[in-house]
């Protein structure tokens, strides 16, 4: 009976994780399109349901009923597995994200390492999809995406080191609680800007959507996919975008902490502030897509390796030197 109870508990946790994320992805796509429409002086989704709220549901139904076509020359097993891996890894990373002090699926002491490991594995789904399609455009898109994701993961990792130096812990809850007096966006603002730009590149968002550049590669690594298999790539991409927005909120914006410790702000549930910060960062994601032109690939690589990487390394040295000089290193965690 105890084993059965534990099994039910784990299933409940998984559903508690999956259902809100999938619903959030549906709503965030609608929000994304509305922001683009507003900035470009057009309406955006406005026909299917009130304010176009059911547009994403209509898109989902279209993907469900569309025929799944596997190219005759494709490696069928890898072709089918690739989108499943992409979506599964994108959802798995959410297991350690604390939405409030009490709402978290798994509160592990190495939460940052877990997220970094899972996000690093995400590139495999894209490479497998592009290679298994046995077509030049998907393969080129997959190679571009692999190079891009690996390049900007290096910058993100070094940026995170700055935060860990200030906290002395890899636990995401500890990172949030360390910002009770001062959010890290203030002393680490240059790192926040680089983190945000690297997150755009990591998730293939404009102006860094070169792996999916329609004018050059049709749709990149997704070209040969259709129906629900295409939708899995799409779900994984938006789940990763929301994940990086949540991680940015935790690392730099105080997570679920209230902006001011005054009534009535301090009585509002922490999950409200966390979701508001995620939505705020995603709003900036959407604005960037609507107004910033696409980079050339050589510009993308130059930005990552010749600008972000050296500057991030320099900032680690400055942060560590400042903390040591003023004896501000966290105590008891080393």
Domain layout of the chain by residue ranges: 68-325
More confident residue, 208 or 278: 278
Q: Write the burial class of residue 321 (CB in 10 Å: 0-12 exposed, 13-18 middle, 19+ buried).
A: exposed
In 52-142 the beta strands, taken as DSSP E runs, fall at: none
Residue 147 confidence (pLDDT):
87
Phi/psi-derived region of residue 135, left when phi > 0, alpha when psi is between -120 and 50, beta in every other case = beta
CA-CA distance, 195 to 152, in Å (whole number)?
A: 9
In the chain the beta strands, taken as DSSP E runs, fall at: none
What angle do the packed helices 2-39 and 270-291 form, to 10 degrees?
40
How much is the average pLDDT of 8-21? 75
Q: What is the pLDDT of residues 254-280, one digit of tens each?
A: 888 988 877 777 788 888 999 999 999
Q: Say if residue 4's pLDDT is above 80.
A: no
Residue percentage of the chain with pLDDT more than 90: 28
Residue 334 confidence (pLDDT):
45
At 247, the pLDDT band (50, 70, 90 cuts) reads very high
CA distances from 70 to 60, 75, 78, 212, 227 (A): 20, 9, 11, 20, 11
Contact in structure between 190 and 198 (CB atoms under 8 Å): no
More confident residue, 22 or 288: 288
At 289, the pLDDT band (50, 70, 90 cuts) reads confident
- Three-state SS at 128: helix
Q: What is the pLDDT of residues 117-155, one digit of tens each?
A: 888 888 888 888 888 888 888 888 888 888 888 888 888
Residue 311 confidence (pLDDT):
94
How much is the average pLDDT of 236-251? 92
At 46, the pLDDT band (50, 70, 90 cuts) reads confident
Q: What is the pLDDT of residues 64-118, one digit of tens each?
A: 888 888 888 888 899 999 999 988 888 888 889 998 888 888 888 888 999 988 8
At 314, the pLDDT band (50, 70, 90 cuts) reads very high
Q: Write the burial class of residue 241 (CB in 10 Å: 0-12 exposed, 13-18 middle, 19+ buried).
A: buried
Token pair of 108 as six digits: 């592990």
Token pair of 200 as six digits: 């755009």
Phi/psi-derived region of residue 272, left when phi > 0, alpha when psi is between -120 and 50, beta in every other case = alpha
């Amino acid at each position: 009976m105890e084993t059965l109870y534990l099994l039910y508990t784990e299933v409940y946790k998984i559903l508690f994780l999956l259902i809100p994320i999938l619903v959030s992805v549906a709503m965030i796509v609608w929000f994304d399109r509305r922001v683009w429409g507003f900035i470009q002086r057009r309406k955006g989704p406005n026909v299917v349901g009130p304010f176009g709220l059911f547009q994403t549901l209509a898109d989902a139904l279209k993907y469900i009923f569309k025929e799944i076509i596997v190219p005759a020359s494709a490696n069928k097993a890898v072709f089918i597995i690739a989108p499943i891996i992409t979506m599964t890894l994108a959802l798995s990373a959410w297991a350690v994200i604390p939405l409030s002090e009490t709402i978290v699926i798994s509160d592990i002491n190495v939460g940052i390492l877990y997220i970094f490991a899972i996000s690093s594995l995400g590139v495999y789904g894209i490479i497998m999809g592009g290679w298994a399609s046995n077509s030049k455009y998907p393969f080129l898109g997959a190679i571009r995406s692999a190079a891009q994701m690996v390049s900007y993961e290096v910058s993100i990792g070094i940026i995170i080191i700055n935060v860990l130096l200030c906290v002395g812990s890899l636990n995401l809850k500890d990172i949030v609680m360390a910002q009770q007096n001062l959010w890290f966006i203030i002393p680490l603002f240059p790192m926040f800007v680089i983190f945000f730009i690297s997150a755009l590149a990591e998730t293939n968002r404009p102006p860094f959507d070169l792996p999916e550049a329609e004018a050059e590669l049709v749709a990149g690594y997704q070209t040969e996919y259709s129906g629900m298999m295409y939708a899995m790539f799409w779900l994984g991409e938006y789940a990763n975008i929301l994940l990086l927005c949540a991680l940015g909120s935790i690392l730099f914006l105080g997570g679920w902490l209230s902006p001011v410790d005054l009534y009535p702000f301090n009585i509002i549930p922490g999950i409200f502030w966390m979701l508001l910060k995620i939505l705020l960062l995603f709003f900036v994601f959407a604005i960037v897509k609507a107004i910033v032109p696409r980079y050339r690939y050589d510009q993308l690589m130059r930005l990552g390796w010749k600008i972000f990487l050296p500057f991030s390394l320099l900032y680690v040295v400055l942060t560590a030197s400042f903390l040591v000089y003023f004896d501000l290193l966290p105590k008891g965690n080393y």
